[in-house]
């Protein structure tokens, strides 16, 4: 067992996930299955089969946006979890403005959070990016605000975790994205995190790059 390759472990894990979904009576939509299974694989939490919400054609549009596109995350942890080989294959890039001194200065000057200031930088410097939020509900609220003022990011991934403003921020971003026809993938409720945001990004990247089979990533 000690010498099982990572690709074999992942493949076996996906088989277990599929079997348990069947036992639970859950039949995934083929369009969204890769994202849901990737998040369950990352968290071992089958609640994501129920609480992940997708706007119309969100996966299809997100996959297209990642071909040569940009991902902006709200944490360096999420950034670290995004697959670099898949990004490279797609000629894409990933960024996080959160820890930049410039972001801290802008937040202090505006009397707001760094997460909210980072959103403004994303709008200015990467307006067509896929936005992956796994930590800061204030980022989602600012994204929604800026979208209502005309911003149209390529995709919004809303998966912050916690208790304060988390549920409300997710419900708001889903409503705004649906109304303005901006693709969104949102983990409703309190659950989420940087690992979930990165997992959603990777499911889309692997789909776009033809890397869903783990053996193809060797």
- Look up residue 154 and give its two tokens: 């390529």
Query: What's the rounded Cα separation, in Å, for the pair 71 and 154?
Result: 9
Query: What's the rounded Cα separation, in Å, for the pair 174 and 183?
Result: 9
Q: Give bridge partners of residue 93 from the DSSP assignment.
A: 70
Question: Catalytic annotation on 41?
Answer: yes
Query: What's the rounded Cα separation, in Å, for the pair 152 and 168?
Result: 21
Catalytic position from the list 28, 32, 33, 41: 41
Kindly report the number of other CB atoms within 10 A of residue 146's CB atom. Answer: 19
Alpha-carbon distances, residue 145 vs 28, 91, 114, 132, 173 (angstroms): 32, 30, 16, 16, 9
By annotation, the residues acting in catalysis are: 41
């Amino acid at each position: 067992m000690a010498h099982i390759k990572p690709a074999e472990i992942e493949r076996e894990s996906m088989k277990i996930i599929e079997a348990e979904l069947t036992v639970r009576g859950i039949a995934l939509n083929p369009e969204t299955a890769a994202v849901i299974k990737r998040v369950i694989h990352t968290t071992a939490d089958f609640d994501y089969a129920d609480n992940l919400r997708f706007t119309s054609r969100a996966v299809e549009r997100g996959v297209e946006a990642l071909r040569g596109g940009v991902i902006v995350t709200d944490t360096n942890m999420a950034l670290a979890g995004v697959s670099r080989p898949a990004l490279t294959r797609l000629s894409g890039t990933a960024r996080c403005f959160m820890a930049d001194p410039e972001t801290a200065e802008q937040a202090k000057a505006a009397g707001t959070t760094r997460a909210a200031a980072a959103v403004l930088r994303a709008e200015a410097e990467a307006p067509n990016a896929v936005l992956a939020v796994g930590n800061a509900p204030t980022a989602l609220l600012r994204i929604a605000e800026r979208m209502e003022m005309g911003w149209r990011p390529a995709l919004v991934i809303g998966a912050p975790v916690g208790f304060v403003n988390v549920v409300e921020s997710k419900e708001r971003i889903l409503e705004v994205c649906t109304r303005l026809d901006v693709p969104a993938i949102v983990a409703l409720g309190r659950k989420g995190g940087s690992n979930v945001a990165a997992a959603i990004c990777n499911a889309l990247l692997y789909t776009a790059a033809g890397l869903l089979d783990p053996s193809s990533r060797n």
